[in-house]
Amino acid sequence: MDIEMTDLGRAAKITLMGRLDTPGVDEIETRFTAGVVARGRDALVDLTQVTFVSSMGIRMLLSAARSLSLKKAKMVIYGAQPMVRESFDHVGLPDILPVVADEAMALDCLKPGA
């Protein structure tokens, strides 16, 4: 699992690459949490290169989103491949935090009043 972080000004963009399974989460969770939650600002999570997500991966994403909401910031996930999106839908993740198709839609979710 690889992680890349980009500063978009108001928000951070976190690109994840690989399998977000237990070994993948173990490999990146500390960097992901530090890059997303510690900054306390909005975050876009790019999953276009994630081929699989397990319950551990979903837990990591939910935990970060909840911690951000306590800081009045928002996390939006985008670009989930069909199998990953199916896993999200199965557990109801889109009911808890935004999961959208692309980066433009993710940025729209961060606009005031969205």
What's the pLDDT tens digit per position in 5-40?
Answer: 999 988 999 999 999 999 999 999 999 999 899 888
Please give the pLDDT value at position 39: 84
Please give the pLDDT value at position 38: 87
pLDDT at position 104 over 80: yes
Please give the pLDDT value at position 113: 76
* CATH level 3 topology of 2-109: Transcription Regulator spoIIAA (3.30.750)
List, as own/partner pairs, every contact residues 96-100 make where C-beta atoms lie below 8 angstroms and the sequence separation is at least 24, other chains included.
Answer: 96/62, 96/65, 97/61, 97/62, 97/65, 98/74, 100/76
Q: Which sequence spans correspond to the domains of the chain? A: 2-109
The whole-number average pLDDT for the span 72-90 is 96
